[in-house]
Structure 1
Amino acid sequence: MTTEVRTSAGTVRGSWSDGIAAYRGIPFAAPPVGPDRFAVPRPASPWDGVRDATRNGSPPPQPGRTTEGPDWLNLAVWTPAPGRTGLPVVVWISGGGFLNCNAANPHLDGTTLAGTGAVVVSAHYRTGAEGFARIEGAPDNRGLLDQIAALRWVQENIAGFGGDPENVTVLGQSAGANSIAALLVMPAAAGLFRRAILQSLPETYFAPDLAADIAREITAGLGRAPRLADLADVAPDDLVAAARSVTERLPHYADRWGAVAHTPTPFSPVVDGEVLREAPWAALAAGAARDVDLLIGHGRDEFSLLARRLTDVDDTEADALIDALTPTPGSRRYRTAYPLLSPTALRDTAMSDWLFRMPALHLADAAHTGGARVWFYELCWGFNSLGASHSLDTLLVFGTAEIGTGLADAGPDLVTQSRRLSELMRTEHVAFAATGDPGWTRYDPRERATRLYDAESTIGRYLEEESRRIWRDQRFGVLERTG
């Protein structure tokens, strides 16, 4: 059975499945090709008749797949009640290290989340060099500008799908959470959403000198310079391959790029003073986005997923890595706080803190200082040796944790725990999107009330107290070139 909705550019035809209507591949901006390739997104061209929206739209150029077509700036909508008005809207901004973004990912299908009583939107944005490389003659942070264009589309069109344009929540994990933190302090995004959910916020925001050096290294692999005129005729897949070559060799750039070399991506938003004027922590503490309700959280074992690609380290190597983090409290404080950890476990704990856990906690502190209403959670549950790993909270909220993760083979007790926890997290996240209150005590930097998601979920004080004390006097900001 099909269903039609009129948008500002034309009518789209979607399809029903499991009581949810889905509309896929809807353009929210013009294809970023030709003179528009590295430009600010332009509005989508209108069409006559009814556009088929039953198939997924083309994702942006990214590793591991051949680019399918130029109309990358499209989105998908899942709704339990097209034509109705007043449902809360959840706009998903994908993670993936600013390298990957694909609404067709089965882990991020919005059907189950929409079934909890929300209109769910998943928007593609330019990733990799297309969206985030610093290119002379082009605006920085094109991927963020794409996200803003998608949010404007939501304001104009979501009522026809059953959503309330005055009650929009942005939801993002990892690079998506990093994007949302940037959107919170960008004047161009003001008023486009009412609430925000940030899962596993990375601390990586680049200074222009660092971003420019990374772009030079990537384009050098093509025999080009990071200038608009030099890159205009480079095939998107060739640019992806050049970026992938640098990504695979990131540890070799530690002398030039500092701790970025220990992350999985050479891309992040650039604090250029124009599109993104400053890093989010200081801006939120000064009152930016004080009217936006925030739900912020992370997993206990954030770095375990990334650590799988690394070898073990000895004491000297662990100390050198921790001391080189920017900012860093130093390896000595880690050894004092965690005397029983092996060098590898100490590295993984420090990297969990530096890359995800402490940026999230400090963002909550900053937003509270700036006058925003904040709630905080920590995922403590896991089903395998990775524990409460990076992205597991996202799968639980979307109700897709049993797809290709090994959970289905972990035993009936763990599957039952997962389903119960998934329903709880999804219900509380949608309650937050609907009302601005997920159902537990608000966060403040003194009491640090935290929703602890586990086999038996509770509300208590923040658990990572040793790490919190280690990082108490550090300040996250902008990463600069180090050599």
Structure 2
Amino acid sequence: MTDRSTATATTASGSRSASTSPSPSDFVEVGTEAGVVRGAWRGEPGSPEASAAFLGIPFAEPPVGALRFAAPVPKAPWEGVRDALEFGATAQRGDPGVTLIPEPSVPGESTLNVNVFTPSPATPESGTDGLPVLVWIHGGGYFAGSPASLWYDGGRFNRDGVVTVTISYRLGFDGFGWIADAPSNRGVRDWLLALEWVQRNIAAFGGDPSRVSIAGQSAGGGAVLTLLGMEAAQHLFHGVYAISGALADVAPERSEAFGRELAATAGVEPTRAGFGSLSEERVLELQKKATDLGAAGLQDVIEHGLPLGPAVDGELILRPTRESLIAGVGADKPLVLGATDDEFTMAFAEAEKKLRWVPKSIVLRKLGLPKAAQKAYLAANADVAAKGTARIAGRLLTDRMFRSAVVALAALRGDAPTWVYRFSWPSGTFGFAEHCLDVPFFFDCLDSIAIEPLAGPNPPQGLADEVHGGAVAFVATGEPGWPRYTDAARTTRVYDTPSSVVADGYASVRSLLGA
């Protein structure tokens, strides 16, 4: 019995058209705890480039009806063979518009699913080890994003001996909003159940559950850092790779205030029954208005963080992540973290001509930099300041939201195994290293769709070899290939053309940290 058509086999690589019927030899079946799934080969089985994709495997029941605001419930077993040939439904709804990463929405109710990419879809023989595993959590500010992006295809990691899993989770208010009588952090609970699924099932796809690294970018980077600081998650992974990690750590009072305000605006009680009486579309509409990032909204996020995201609930997330790292939680896990040089500089691109005539001091004050700190900051970033007010404003916004956190979190880890990088290669489109630019280098997918709008024409494959190669080395061995970060040396890998290893690669942000 299946609940998906086998008439088409459009895989994540896009290698087969929807109108082409595959032959039986293209299929491969694997038994999971819940039942057998049918995936599809890309490339000739046994060849170095061969990879099998299993798409849209549900790890939980659809979070609809009575389960809409509940903790995720493991998927019930099914009979027969379930097709895993197309991406499953996504929590992201509708047309996301123009985004930096192509992350499509897929309609449907069964939004809690995993995609597995493997070069060896079989349980390892007794006495042999399975392959290392990478689990990817997508970004999107905790309210958007999709695991169905072609950029997240695990084929290149498969080529290099790494089984890859991408997971979905509930977004926005459904995933993270405070509701008086609902479980907290439902999106976090989705991460945990997905990782539990990996532990129980990945050996059947050729993976080793004792060698699982979790990675993500932006909100996904924040997600893996959140998991690193959670006592309840420690048994589910063995290494962390955080790309431009945007930690939320929403204060409980902020989370509750947002939930109550949303309920009041909707005219319902802040309960499961109250919010359950609202359509999904209505909740998304209210959420969008409440999180508008106009000038006031941006300033609020800079000062207080995101209103929707993992919240310090005292149950799953016992304390802010930084406090957990100080306490030694996750200290046995190797961690790689870093950011691009100009994550959010593009936020000022349209106003660049206007800002040319605005004194830098005024803009920096608006972005929260006290007048007394401006001289030191401008001196430390003289090369960027020379490019104009828009560029130094973008660098400050980037530093406050991303780059200063890299330095602070690495320092909090003490002697725990930590590696720090910077992605500095300037996009051929924007002229600087913007948010998301490093993702196709991480996945070694410079030949994928929609690369040029972000990276420009002919991005350097050699740099992708370096970034991707470091990621493969980390997943396989627990070390990415450059010296560890220590408070004394502050060794930093700088990805550029050429790349280098330098001391204190984030020195320019230290004036913001007082060190």
TM over 0.5: same fold? yes
**Of 138, 141, 149, which residue of structure 1 is paired with 2:193?**
149
User: Residue 268 of structure 1 aligns with which residue?
Assistant: 309
Q: Is the 8 A contact 2:376 2:511 kept in 1?
A: no
User: Residue 465 of structure 1 aligns with which residue?
Assistant: 507
**Of 20, 35, 56, which residue of structure 2 is paired with 1:25?**
56
Normalising by structure 2, what TM-score? 0.83
Where structure 1 has 5 or more consecutive residues not aligned to the other structure, the ranges are 474-483
Q: Is the 8 A contact 1:29 1:43 kept in 2?
A: yes
1:63 Cα shift? 5.6
User: Residue 328 of structure 2 aligns with which residue?
Assistant: 287
Taking a change above 3 Å as real, the CA distance of residues 351 and 102 of structure 1, as seen in their structure-2 partners, is same
**Of 90, 94, 100, which residue of structure 2 is paired with 1:59?**
90
- Where relative contact order (Cα < 8 A, 6+ residues apart) is larger, the structure is 1
User: Residue 199 of structure 1 aligns with which residue?
Assistant: 243
1:245 Cα shift? 2.3
Q: Is the 8 A contact 1:89 1:168 kept in 2?
A: yes
User: Residue 300 of structure 1 aligns with which residue?
Assistant: 341
**Of 345, 348, 363, which residue of structure 2 is paired with 1:318?**
363
**Of 393, 400, 405, which residue of structure 2 is paired with 1:359?**
405
SS in structure 1 of the partner of residue 295 of structure 2: helix
Q: Is the 8 A contact 1:88 1:434 kept in 2?
A: yes
User: Residue 229 of structure 1 aligns with which residue?
Assistant: 273
Bigger drift between 3-12 and 373-382 goes to 373-382
SS in structure 1 of the partner of residue 498 of structure 2: coil
User: Residue 68 of structure 2 aligns with which residue?
Assistant: 37
Counterpart residue type for residue 186 of structure 1: M
Counterpart residue type for residue 467 of structure 2: M
1:321 Cα shift? 2.6
Counterpart residue type for residue 450 of structure 1: T
User: Residue 12 of structure 1 aligns with which residue?
Assistant: 37
User: Residue 71 of structure 1 aligns with which residue?
Assistant: 110
Q: Return the alpha-carbon distance in structure 1 between the equivalents of residues 270 and 489 of structure 2.
A: 48
Where structure 2 has 5 or more consecutive residues not aligned to the other structure, the ranges are 1-25, 44-49, 97-104, 125-129
Q: Deviations over 1:370-393 (max 9, x none)?
A: x42111111111232242111111
Taking a change above 3 Å as real, the CA distance of residues 136 and 303 of structure 1, as seen in their structure-2 partners, is same
Mapping 1:305-384, distance limit 5 Å: 305-308=346-349, 313=355, 314-315=358-359, 317-323=362-368, 330-331=373-374, 333-335=376-378, 337-338=380-381, 340-341=385-386, 342-367=388-413, 369=414, 371-384=415-428
User: Residue 259 of structure 1 aligns with which residue?
Assistant: 302
Q: Return the alpha-carbon distance in structure 2 between the equivalents of residues 71 and 338 of structure 1.
A: 48
1:62 Cα shift? 3.7
Counterpart residue type for residue 410 of structure 2: A
Q: Deviations over 1:62-99 (max 9, x none)?
A: 46367722211101000011115310000001111112
Q: Return the alpha-carbon distance in structure 1 between the equivalents of residues 367 and 59 of structure 2.
A: 43
Q: Is the 8 A contact 1:73 1:146 kept in 2?
A: yes
| Structure 1 position 430 matched with structure 2 position 472 | yes
| Structure 1 position 389 matched with structure 2 position 431 | no
Bigger drift between 304-313 and 450-459 goes to 304-313
Q: Return the alpha-carbon distance in structure 1 between the equivalents of residues 69 and 57 of structure 2.
A: 21
After TM superposition, the runs of 4+ consecutive aligned structure 1 residues lying more than 6 A away are none
Identity, in percent, stands at 34
User: Residue 441 of structure 1 aligns with which residue?
Assistant: 483
Q: Is the 8 A contact 1:133 1:215 kept in 2?
A: yes
1:180 Cα shift? 1.1
Q: Is the 8 A contact 2:198 2:209 kept in 1?
A: yes
Q: Deviations over 1:22-56 (max 9, x none)?
A: 00110111111122211111111110000000011
Q: Deviations over 1:244-281 (max 9, x none)?
A: 223335433478x46268x8x64222112222111222
Q: How many pairs were matched up?
A: 462
| Structure 1 position 186 matched with structure 2 position 221 | no
Q: Is the 8 A contact 2:221 2:243 kept in 1?
A: yes
Q: Is the 8 A contact 1:22 1:79 kept in 2?
A: yes
Bigger drift between 186-195 and 384-393 goes to 384-393
Q: Which has the larger radius of gyration?
A: 2
Q: Return the alpha-carbon distance in structure 2 between the equivalents of residues 38 and 132 of structure 1.
A: 10
- Note the aligned Cα RMSD (angstroms): 2.5
Q: Is the 8 A contact 2:341 2:395 kept in 1?
A: no
User: Residue 480 of structure 1 aligns with which residue?
Assistant: none
Q: Is the 8 A contact 2:492 2:503 kept in 1?
A: yes
Q: Is the 8 A contact 2:345 2:393 kept in 1?
A: no
Taking a change above 3 Å as real, the CA distance of residues 33 and 380 of structure 1, as seen in their structure-2 partners, is same
SS in structure 2 of the partner of residue 191 of structure 1: helix
Q: Is the 8 A contact 1:260 1:266 kept in 2?
A: no
| Structure 1 position 83 matched with structure 2 position 114 | no
Q: Is the 8 A contact 1:200 1:356 kept in 2?
A: yes
Normalising by structure 1, what TM-score? 0.89
Q: Is the 8 A contact 1:101 1:125 kept in 2?
A: no
Q: Return the alpha-carbon distance in structure 1 between the equivalents of residues 314 and 372 of structure 2.
A: 28
Q: Return the alpha-carbon distance in structure 2 between the equivalents of residues 348 and 124 of structure 1.
A: 31
1:337 Cα shift? 3.9
Counterpart residue type for residue 269 of structure 1: P
Q: Is the 8 A contact 1:305 1:389 kept in 2?
A: yes
**Of 104, 108, 112, which residue of structure 1 is paired with 2:148?**
104
Counterpart residue type for residue 45 of structure 1: A
Bigger drift between 60-69 and 40-49 goes to 60-69
User: Residue 477 of structure 1 aligns with which residue?
Assistant: none
Q: Is the 8 A contact 2:377 2:511 kept in 1?
A: no
Q: Is the 8 A contact 2:246 2:402 kept in 1?
A: yes
SS in structure 2 of the partner of residue 296 of structure 1: strand
User: Residue 420 of structure 1 aligns with which residue?
Assistant: 462
SS in structure 2 of the partner of residue 64 of structure 1: coil
Q: Is the 8 A contact 1:304 1:386 kept in 2?
A: no
